[in-house]
Structure 1
Amino acid sequence: MSKSSSRGRSLSSPAQVVAMLLVFLLLSTAGGVVAAGFAMPAVGVASAITKASAQMFDELPDDFNILEPSQVSVIKASDGTQITQFYAENRIVVSLDDISTNMQNAIVAVEDQRFYQHKGVDPTGIVRAIVSNASGGSQGASTLTQQYVRNILIEAGLQNDDDAAVAAAKAPTVARKLREIKYALTVEQKYSKQQILEGYLNIASFGPSTYGVEASAQHYFSHSAKELSVPEAALLAGLTNAPGMYDPVQSPERAKSRMDWVLQKMYEEEFISAEEYQAGLDTQIADLLKITDSVGGCGAAGSAAYFCEYVVGEIENSDIFGATEAERRQLLLRGGLEITTTLDTAKQAAADAAVQAYVPTGDPSNVKTALVSIEPGTGRIVAMSQNTNYGDATGSDPTATQISYSADYLHGGMESNGFQPGSAFKTFALAQWYQEGRSGYTVTNTTPRTFYFSDWTISCAPDIAPASWAPKNANNSENGRHTVVDNTALSINVGYAEMLVQMDVCSVTQLAADMGVTKANGDPIDPNPSVVLGGTETTPIAMANAYATFAAHGVYCTPVAIDSITDADGNEMSTPSANCKQVMSATAADQVTITLQSVMTSKGTGTAAALSGRPVAGKTGTTDEMDNAWFVGYTPQLATAIWAGHSDRYYAMNHQYIGGRYYATMYGADLPAPMFKTYMDAALANEPVMGFNQVSLGAGAPSSSNNSDDSAQARQTSAGGRHNQPDQQENTEDEHDDSDDED
């Protein structure tokens, strides 16, 4: 154990402590302090205060529990790569064995030379402080144990958001001193000197922005506290008195003077030799510092910042982590959590590359885009990217934002909760169609006509049907009679209106809700018939996850961003569950998948999304005036949604250059579909090719003698079949609906 050259004496009783302390307080705080020979009136007053304070001392509770100090929480990707960290106080708790003996000696020398002799309170130190202060000096009488107690009380107040408790722990009052003394005596009875020293070195501030000796050593010297040299230890020990005043970065001369004073104390206490003392004096601050700044929060997460916001939302909105949002936030900032997330760094890099390739950050068009990817059957979010820098908008970066365009409001998204998905919503009507046992080869009348109030079945809201509604197709070639598969491949509006009129609209919106596509408050979308054309806002993550349900054969999982969490002691904590459940029949889900493969055939709207050498299913989406464009698609291993539009309001994206390319139109086929291909080809490059389940689409399957349209639909049922991708698709998607037709 470290040695001390001084020999104090132990306290004989708490009364002695109180008496000596009160004399000290009286003489050091009252006006007209005498320099020598205590005057009788002063002694009399001290006696009276001592008697009253002794009673006060006895009434204080004996129990004092050591509080674990706040620690840094770390957020990691699924492969263990650190994404960022969160902290209210930048602190890393370590054991005494991992703290240099030089540091232990330095803090004892400067803060409490009789630390190893006293029992928590040092009467010799009190007397010395009385004499020093009576002579005009400034000498504290608190032992290292008392300082430890004070730091714990402050920390408890901070962790509980209790400003009054923090103020009481710092107040220059007799009551505070008495409390510190009693608690210090209690601590010394329950804990060893080594435990107390370890606790103090972990909780105290050793810099303006660092707490505990480990984080401070890494900040100032870029190595651990176990490696601290004598000069480094002296520099850190000198900071505890006034971290801001002696900060070696801002005030190197003042810091050097303080360091030399600590070295002198270490030499006087025989902790270092004359040679070490001189070597320390010869060491300059600039020779010691090797600053490593530690930045926390989602702003330090780089391109994963918006995914980071989703993780934060998971913690702040789940009662797993506390009864209130304030408690959950405190846990994140102070709990020393290790949070391993679902983020796949390779897929995130592929997402970033695809986004920047098509709509770079700061593009003059001001078009925004977002990409989010989910693992079917688990709900694990593996990538989330958008073409903005995370932060507040500035003159030099006016598009910077902290809002995630992929997520819902509770996870950092827009208050409006997303964007209109256009015809990408038709898939939910298709899913209900198959859920009811209907055939993909049913022929529908796709010639535009007016639908009236009496045409609709809306059991949950019968009065919501419009008096009349006349949806239009993109062009006359889509008029006539087409199968359900045709309606999907070509995205024929009237064909889907005809399908919807044969079902209960409420069953479609409820199925969408079962797959996570809801209003912002979680309620099903209003069952207005025009919903089939995608006029109600939703989020890219909701769409990606809903389509992942089809890939998972009808199993819906709540999106999850966290794989595991351990607390500061390494114990596993509960995490939000994906709660996977079957929400539609596996056969119906597989029928949806087979039908959505037709979208990627030569006649479909999503040809540009066809992947290289592997089967894929998906759907394009476009809204009125070409102000939102989507592609949502999937393979058995990965579901992805891509949105492009404007974040401030809806206005057209056609007839302009975006990302250096001119777009005469802006359908889901134009930008989102090729971006989808670019991303998915890269994200799945090292994964095996997997096919979809092959199921019948129902009665009326075409024979080889059928017309070419039907033959194309028959060919699309072959898993792995694909078509060459043209450089620029001819846009035939019919999703530019009149705004009057949308919710």
Structure 2
Amino acid sequence: MLLALVMLSGFGGVLAAGFAMPLVGATSAVTNAGAQLFNELPTDFNALEPSEVSVILAADGTEIAQFYAENRIVVPLDQISVNMQNAIVAVEDRRFYQHKGVDPTGMVRALVSNASGGSQGASTLTQQYVRNVLVEAGVQSDDPAQIAAATERSTARKLREIKYALTLEQTYTKQQILEGYLNIAAFGPSTYGVEASAQHYFSHSAAELTVAEAALLAGMTNAPGAYDPIAFPEAAKDRMDWVLLKMYEEEFITQEQYDEAVTTQIEDMLHVTNTVGGCAAAGSAAYFCEYVVGEIENSPLFGETEAERRQLLLRGGLTITTTLDPAKQAAADAAIQEYVPTGDPSNVKAALVSVQPGTGRILAIAQNTNYGDATEDNPTATQISLGVDALHGGLENEDGTSGFQPGSTFKTFVLAQWYQEGRSGYTPMNTTPTRFPAATWKISCAPENADDWNVGNANAFEGGTNNVIRSTQLSINVGYARMTAAMDICSITDLAAKMGVTTNAGEPLAPKPSIALGSQEVTPLQMANAYATFAAHGVYCKPIAIDAITDSDGNALSVPSAECTQVMEAEAADQTALTLTYVMRSPGTGMTAALAGGRPSAGKTGTTELMDNAWFAGFTPSLSAAVWLGHSESYSPMNNQVIGGRWYSTMYGSDAPAPLWKMYMDGALAGTPHEHFPQVSLGVQPTPTPARTPKPTPASHEEDGEAGTSTTEQSAQPPTTTVSGG
């Protein structure tokens, strides 16, 4: 005691606050050098806001997922039970309301206790708050040295805490300091701040904490892991009872309250709610969630580096309102599960992405896999999103693209450029299989890509003379090869690029003749959003997944813009859309996708050569969606097998993708009025001449198919070098 009094009186002039400097530790620390060090320490202290949970919401405000480095919910003091406030003061700093940041009396008490073999800390709540803030600053700046300095056992660290505590008490009220501590401290091994801890252990807010619950939480701050009531209920109960005794001794509770609380058992108190952070908690919206994360991590709007952007997401307390439409997401999930259920023995994968025309807003992203890492019980689980590009969680192919070969769904860009150049949908052409010499092609930006190409059709009846509309309706490969030959292929890939169909680097796809039949990989999102451009009369909008973001203070942050622009003539876009409505009518390849009640729709089937990729992309004036089926690991045929409980002798875009698309669209548009496409002219009609009328074939052969497939109709066709088609 004498030693402590000497220590507290001998350096009375050191502290600017007007009372002695309470040094902790060996007497060797009490030196003139120590006093000089104290005086040289800075007095400015930034009581930064602690890390908070970021929340991702659907467009209707429902929660999708939470992201956090520390599970913490910051709340004002008036939303924290007085029981909790009293409990933490009783156990951590009973003279909190009397001292000025440092408690000389407490220091003497701790010194005497420790000298006699006890173990008692001497830090006030203010000092503990300072320490927590310094640690948090190191964590937020990812600075291990700063964290170590804030937690080391040294006189220098203690002196720094003391000076900062004195400064803090001159600028903050006791209520502000208590609020800060209750929000930043750990009240469990995985929860920070009393609100998140109350929600975790008791499934209610900190405002509702009872005396017993408050004592349980307050007892954990000393050692959150050792006193965790879930893992160590007996140790937690002993600690809780000790806190209750301190609350009683400090007259925070009555004898009756103490008696009632001390008889409360741990198992009767706990109602645990486990919060899972990240997209794993988003359920069927997990892959949409991944897209949102990709938007934040890749956009300079949220920080100069990816590390800064990640920190903002994990610690910034953001409220991220997204474009996700829960009803449409549910409709997408239902359609996929109906046709290719998760874990289907065929191992066929399915993905559907839906976009709102004229806005770029992504409304749904679905696929038939569980989000996560593959396990023995769930071997198909994956975090890879099959519907989007590599920057948003998708696969990246060796050529710098993402996604899968689209087959004849890519023919739509040939059609769009055809109309963009003022050509007619009634232009007739010979669609009999033939060989196109390299000199046929005009490729101004890459003439070296010209090559000989043998092109066949999926069905024998597709030969003869057919116009553009008919070639589109039946997806006649040779017709589209002739259309491609009539134009500069670079103009086709450039137009597709203007609609977002590019490599991952944002470059146009390679301008090769086979591009007309979808020989290069694209993503379902690219196709859904490009087709939305036709629905929007030629206005392309970059896909967006975020409507708004506010920070922890409610301030709005900038978000990526759709940057909608007119990328093709409105009339040409409307002509493209109107021509694609013929695909939905008999004998069109997409007639199995015709919507309920005669709702107007437009679309295009797509199938690759070995039936290893099958697509349907289509739209109404207000909704666009693309469906892909295939194997995500490597291309493998899907015909002659059972998929989703149905036998498929073929797997054209009309077989499973089209009815899957129809089921989604019917559900997503249920209860909405029918909308119609503009009835524009499809061009000048040629003078009527006698022409062969193609004889309709059975429905199973009306799909556009792949040149070079092994079907009976293909056997007589010349060899082909393409790997894509209808």
Instruction: Tell me what 2:590 maps to.
Output: 606
Q: Assess if the C-alpha contact under 8 Å between 1:702 and 1:711 holds in 2.
A: no
Cα distance, 1:58 vs. partner? 1.7
* 1:206-259 CA-partner distances (Å, limit 9, x unpaired): 001110011111111111111111111111100000000000111111001101
* 1:82-139 CA-partner distances (Å, limit 9, x unpaired): 1111111111111111111111111011001111111111111111111111111111
1:220 is the counterpart of 2:197? no
Cα distance, 1:281 vs. partner? 1.5
Instruction: Tell me what 1:574 maps to.
Output: 558
The 2-side partners of 1:235 and 1:16 are apart by 38
The 2-side partners of 1:226 and 1:475 are apart by 72
Q: Assess if the C-alpha contact under 8 Å between 1:409 and 1:415 holds in 2.
A: yes
SS in 2 for 1:662: strand
1:432 is the counterpart of 2:403? no
Which of 630, 651, 658 pairs up with 2:636?
651
Q: Assess if the C-alpha contact under 8 Å between 1:622 and 1:736 holds in 2.
A: no
Instruction: Tell me what 2:472 maps to.
Output: 488
The 2-side partners of 1:289 and 1:463 are apart by 72
CA 1:571/1:709 → structure 2, altered by over 3 Å: closer, same or farther?
A: farther
Instruction: Tell me what 2:24 maps to.
Output: 24
Instruction: Tell me what 2:37 maps to.
Output: 56
Which of 64, 77, 85 pairs up with 1:104?
85
Cα distance, 1:701 vs. partner? 6.6
CA 1:22/1:104 → structure 2, altered by over 3 Å: closer, same or farther?
A: closer
Kindly provide the amino acid, as one letter, of the partner of residue 683 in structure 1: A
Q: Assess if the C-alpha contact under 8 Å between 1:17 and 1:123 holds in 2.
A: no
SS in 2 for 1:369: strand
Cα distance, 1:24 vs. partner? 2.8
Cα distance, 1:735 vs. partner? 2.5
Q: Name whichever of 393-402 and 444-453 sits farther off.
A: 444-453
1:517 is the counterpart of 2:497? no
SS in 1 for 2:97: coil
Cα distance, 1:15 vs. partner? 4.0
The 2-side partners of 1:709 and 1:362 are apart by 45
CA 1:693/1:708 → structure 2, altered by over 3 Å: closer, same or farther?
A: farther
1:640 is the counterpart of 2:611? no
Q: In the TM superposition, what are the counterparts of 1:396-545 in structure 2 within 5 Å?
A: 396-416=377-397, 417-466=402-451, 468-545=452-529
Which of 532, 535, 540 pairs up with 1:556?
540
Kindly provide the amino acid, as one letter, of the partner of residue 608 in structure 1: T
Kindly provide the amino acid, as one letter, of the partner of residue 546 in structure 2: I
Cα distance, 1:464 vs. partner? 1.4
Q: Name whichever of 76-85 and 731-740 sits farther off.
A: 731-740
SS in 1 for 2:242: helix
Instruction: Tell me what 2:646 maps to.
Output: 661
Instruction: Tell me what 1:250 maps to.
Output: 231
The 1-side partners of 2:663 and 2:258 are apart by 64
Q: Assess if the C-alpha contact under 8 Å between 1:423 and 1:620 holds in 2.
A: yes
Cα distance, 1:734 vs. partner? 3.2
Cα distance, 1:77 vs. partner? 0.8
The 1-side partners of 2:20 and 2:611 are apart by 82
Q: Name whichever of 730-739 and 248-257 sits farther off.
A: 730-739
1:351 is the counterpart of 2:332? yes
Cα distance, 1:702 vs. partner? 8.3
Instruction: Tell me what 1:159 maps to.
Output: 140
1:594 is the counterpart of 2:578? yes
The 1-side partners of 2:186 and 2:359 are apart by 43
Instruction: Tell me what 1:385 maps to.
Output: 366
Q: Assess if the C-alpha contact under 8 Å between 1:21 and 1:126 holds in 2.
A: no
* 1:555-582 CA-partner distances (Å, limit 9, x unpaired): 0000001111111111111111000000
Q: Assess if the C-alpha contact under 8 Å between 2:706 and 2:723 holds in 1.
A: no
Q: Assess if the C-alpha contact under 8 Å between 2:453 and 2:721 holds in 1.
A: no
SS in 1 for 2:25: helix
Instruction: Tell me what 1:629 maps to.
Output: 614
The 2-side partners of 1:351 and 1:280 are apart by 51
Cα distance, 1:175 vs. partner? 1.3
1:285 is the counterpart of 2:270? no
Cα distance, 1:453 vs. partner? 2.0
The 2-side partners of 1:708 and 1:591 are apart by 25
SS in 1 for 2:381: coil
The 2-side partners of 1:172 and 1:315 are apart by 39
Instruction: Tell me what 2:713 maps to.
Output: none
Q: Assess if the C-alpha contact under 8 Å between 1:536 and 1:742 holds in 2.
A: no
TM-score by length of 1: 0.91
The 1-side partners of 2:626 and 2:54 are apart by 31
* 1:141-187 CA-partner distances (Å, limit 9, x unpaired): 11100100110111111111111111111111111111111111111
The 2-side partners of 1:415 and 1:278 are apart by 65
Which of 355, 362, 371 pairs up with 2:343?
362
The 2-side partners of 1:283 and 1:477 are apart by 83
The 2-side partners of 1:491 and 1:518 are apart by 23
Cα distance, 1:69 vs. partner? 0.6
Kindly provide the amino acid, as one letter, of the partner of residue 25 in structure 1: G
Q: In the TM superposition, what are the counterparts of 1:698-717 in structure 2 within 5 Å?
A: 698-700=683-685
The 2-side partners of 1:359 and 1:559 are apart by 26
Cα distance, 1:62 vs. partner? 1.4
Q: Assess if the C-alpha contact under 8 Å between 1:493 and 1:533 holds in 2.
A: yes
Instruction: Tell me what 2:603 maps to.
Output: 618
Aligned positions, number: 700
Q: Name whichever of 400-409 and 729-738 sits farther off.
A: 729-738
CA 1:18/1:209 → structure 2, altered by over 3 Å: closer, same or farther?
A: farther
Q: Assess if the C-alpha contact under 8 Å between 2:454 and 2:720 holds in 1.
A: no
Kindly provide the amino acid, as one letter, of the partner of residue 345 in structure 1: P
1:119 is the counterpart of 2:100? yes
Instruction: Tell me what 1:394 maps to.
Output: 375
* 1:319-370 CA-partner distances (Å, limit 9, x unpaired): 1111111111111111111111111111111111100000000000000000
Gaps (5+ residues) in structure 1? 1-7, 27-41, 713-725
Instruction: Tell me what 1:82 maps to.
Output: 63
Instruction: Tell me what 2:682 maps to.
Output: 697
SS in 1 for 2:434: coil
Cα distance, 1:22 vs. partner? 7.1
Kindly provide the amino acid, as one letter, of the partner of residue 519 in structure 2: G
The 1-side partners of 2:643 and 2:284 are apart by 21
SS in 1 for 2:55: strand
The 2-side partners of 1:340 and 1:383 are apart by 14
Instruction: Tell me what 1:720 maps to.
Output: none
Cα distance, 1:55 vs. partner? 1.3
Cα distance, 1:420 vs. partner? 0.2
Kindly provide the amino acid, as one letter, of the partner of residue 352 in structure 1: D
Percent of pairs with identical residues: 67
Cα distance, 1:730 vs. partner? 3.6
SS in 2 for 1:625: coil
SS in 2 for 1:640: strand
TM-score by length of 2: 0.94
* 1:526-569 CA-partner distances (Å, limit 9, x unpaired): 10111111010010000000000000000000000111111111
Cα distance, 1:204 vs. partner? 0.4
SS in 2 for 1:83: strand
Q: Assess if the C-alpha contact under 8 Å between 2:459 and 2:701 holds in 1.
A: no
* 1:393-428 CA-partner distances (Å, limit 9, x unpaired): 111111110000001000011122100000100100
The 1-side partners of 2:536 and 2:695 are apart by 28
